[in-house]
Amino acid sequence: MRYAMAVDTKKCVGCSDCVVACQTENNVPIGFCRDWVVEVTDGTYPQLEIEIRSERCNHCNNSPCVRCCPTGASHYSDGGIVLVNSEKCIGCGACIASCPYDARYSHPDGYVDKCTFCIHRVKKGQDPACVAVCPTKCMYFGDLDDPKSPVSVVLKKRKYKTLIPEAGTQPELYFLI
Amino acid sequence: MREELIISGRNNYLIDPVLHIWHWQIPLYLFLGGLAAGVLFFAALFKILGKENEYPSAVKIAPMIVPFLLILGLFALFLDLKHKLYFWRLYTTIKLQSPMSWGAWTLMAVTPLSFIWAALHVKEVFPKWKWPHKMFDDLESILKKYILEIAWFILVFSVILGVYTGILFSAFNARPLWNTSILGPLFLASGLSTGAAAIMLLSKSETERKRFAKIDLMLIAVELFLIVHMFMGFLASTQVQIDAASLFLGGEYTAPFWIFVVGFGLVIPAILEILELRKYHIPVYISGSLVLFGGIMLRFIIANAGQASRWLY
């Protein structure tokens, strides 16, 4: 089992519904976010291109955050999902400094927090909150080892990229281009 | 033109717009750790070489401050933790891939060793010293038999501690400025140099001061070499590392780095030490204090600039 997510940059309109859904679903403290939307303008005027991406933890296969965590609080869970055990986290900040995607933040309660791919929903057979709520249906989630999962199907059909592949983290968050 | 704009209100505290997860506590702790490593290294080295009477400050006097340095450093580290009461979790895990984990274990070894070393020499430094209980005297006489073995342990662990203060940063691939293995030897050299400076400041013997001025001079040369080497490495590397180096080569950290670290921290004390060795009368506390100042600034600037260097945005 290998959980992954794909985000269609051609369909995303940057409404930030995913951000609000995540904050509500996961009780994210006010002023923080586990996912966010980035708008990238590329090119030279007048030939400009805009790409809109809904970003979150990349649940990397080679996660620097898991490697550098001194207490083992950051760990790989079922299906390669990267999670933080708040009971083990001492809040040293090493994982925050080690993440090239800046996907983690320090929760006011003292531990480090981030996207969990809504594992509590996935276990019940539901989609992550951001995927479920997206009005343009631009996000696909599922098991890459299952050829029939929405994410496997869409990655077979479309061109895609990952963010900062040169950092060697092997992300499981794909962007359809 | 490539421009990335964040439109979702991504505003995670301490992370946006510039990562600032580590404040003054970490660089202060790294400075104190490096200084402690430097003092312990010379104490153990000259003990093993049988030169404790030639260099009394290095072997006996300066190590008296090391337990205080380490405790202060560990306290700073404790203040940095967000989940403070869970700090003991560091000692329920051994994670070889995490420099922070083996740093915690190294300190677990070095801190008691530094106490033992100070305790074994306290009667020579403070002749009126009396242990509150006979048990301590017995323990002292037992440990004194193994003092050379203890010195060897301290020698090895002080090098590990010194290197670790730099490797802690090196391990972060996500911060291009830190992601260079030069930081390990650079911070070790800087730690040894600040240790030599502390010994110079505490020494009353002219020969000992001169000897440590010479040692410090060599270490400053090594540091300058490593700094040049670091920038050559960055400039020959990928764009993110070229960008990271440019923070010091025209970017916002240029003036503090070259003036405070290289100028006041390395070049000026080196010149003063050369003049002193050529028999000019220059108070030793000027060069010694400048080296300590340079050591602090190096860690603060590398810690802050590293957090300003990134892959994204």
HEC string for B198-266: HHHHHCCCHHHHHHHHHHHHHHHHHHHHHHHHHHHHHHCCCHHHHHHHHCCCCCCCHHHHHHHHHHHHH
Coil vs helix vs strand at B183: helix
- φ/ψ (deg, to 5) at B173: -60, -30
The CB-side HSE value for B42 (13 A sphere, CA atoms) comes to 34
Q: Is A50 on the interface with B (CB under 8 A)?
A: no
Residues B135, B114: Cα–Cα separation, whole Å: 19
How does DSSP classify residue B126? S
Q: How far is A137 from A8, CA to CA, in rounded Å? A: 9
Local confidence band at A46 (pLDDT 50, 70, 90 cut-offs): confident
Identify whether the C-beta of residue A121 lies closer than 8 Å to the C-beta of residue A17: no
Closest residue to B174, CB basis, from A38, A64, A87? A64
CB < 8 Å to B98, chain A: 67-70, 94
* Interface contact B9-A19, CB threshold 8 A: yes
- Put simply, whether A45 touches B (Cβ < 8 Å) is yes
Average of per-residue pLDDT across B148-168: 96
Contacting residues of A for B15, CB less than 8 Å apart: 96, 102, 104-105
Interface contact B311-A167, CB threshold 8 A: yes
Phi, psi of B211, deg, nearest 5: -60, -45
Q: Are residues B61 and B186 in contact, defined by beta-carbon separation less than 8 angstroms?
A: no
> Which residue in A48, A69, A96 has the most chain B C-beta atoms within 10 A of its own C-beta, making it the best mutation to test that interface?
A96
What is the chain B residue with the closest CA to A100? B174
Looking at the predicted structure, is the pLDDT value of residue B182 above 90?
yes
Supply the angle between the helices B268-277 and B284-308 in degrees, to the nearest 10. Answer: 160
Contact B90 A72 (CB under 8 A): no
According to DSSP, the residues that pair with A36 across neighbouring strands are A55
Hey, CA dihedral for A151, A152, A158, A159, is it positive or negative?
A: positive
What separation in angstroms does the CA of B7 have from each of A13, A25, A79, A175?
Answer: 11, 21, 31, 18
Distance (Å, whole) CA B189 – CA B193? 6
Residues of A in contact with B84 (CB under 8 A): 90-91, 110
A92 and B CB contact within 8 Å:
yes
Instruction: Please say if the pLDDT value at position B8 is more than 90.
Output: no
Q: Which of B13, B21, B98 sits opposite A68 (nearest CB)?
A: B98
The answer, for A64 touching chain B at a CB cutoff of 8 Å, is yes
Question: In this complex, is the C-beta atom of A166 within 8 Å of any C-beta atom belonging to chain B?
Answer: yes
DSSP H or E stretch at residue B193: helix B183-202
Mean pLDDT over B184-189 rounds to 97
Q: CA–CA distance from A47 to each of A50, A79, B212 (Å)? A: 10, 42, 64
Chain centroid to CA B288: 15
Provide the pLDDT for residue A39.
86
CB contact under 8 A, B174 and A97: yes
Q: Write down the pLDDT at residue B9.
A: 58
pLDDT tens by residue, A81-126: 999 999 999 999 999 999 999 999 999 999 999 999 999 999 999 9
Number of CB atoms found within 10 A of residue A50's CB:
12
Note whether B109 and B58 are within 8 A (CB).
Answer: no
Chain B residues near residue A19 by CB distance under 8 angstroms: 8-9
- Condensed to tens digits (0 to 9), the pLDDT of residues B54-76 reads 999 999 999 999 999 999 999 99
- Mean pLDDT over residues B42-62, rounded? 94
What gap in Å lies between CA B49 and CA A113, rounded to an integer?
51
Q: For tokens 């976010």, name the residue.
A: A33
Rg for chain B, CA atoms, rounded: 21
Nearest to B172 among A36, A97, A102 (CB): A97
ipTM: 0.89
Tokens 């400053």 belong to residue: B220
In DSSP terms, B129 is beta-bridged to none
Per-residue pLDDT at B114 exceeds 80 = yes
Residue of A nearest to B101 (CA): A70
pTM: 0.93
- The whole-number pLDDT of residue B283 equals 85
Q: What is the C-alpha separation between B104 and B252, in angstroms, rounded?
A: 33
Choose the mutation target among B1, B2, B8 for the interface with A, i.e. most A CBs under 10 Å: B8
Contact of A135 with chain B, judged by CB distance below 8 Å, is answered with no
Q: Does A23 touch chain B (CB under 8 A)?
A: no
| The two structure tokens encoding residue B160 | 């590990």
The whole-angstrom distance between A147's CA and the closest CA on chain B is 32
Name the residue facing B13 among A31, A44, A112 (closest C-beta).
Answer: A31
Query: Is residue A46 reached through a cis peptide bond, with omega within 30 degrees of 0 on the bond before it?
Result: yes
Task: State the nearest Cα–Cα gap between B271 and chain A, in angstroms.
Answer: 38
> B271 CB contacts (<8 Å, ≥6 apart)?
none
Query: Residues B199-249: pLDDT tens digits?
Result: 999 999 889 999 999 999 999 999 999 999 999 999 999 989 999 999 999
- Picking from A2-6, A50-54, B151-155, which range would have the lowest pLDDT averaged per residue? A50-54
Optimal mutation site among A19, A68, A84, A99, interface B, most CBs of chain B within 10 A? A68
Contacts of residue A94 in chain B, CB cutoff 8 Å?
98, 100
Test A102 with B19 for CB contact under 8 angstroms: yes
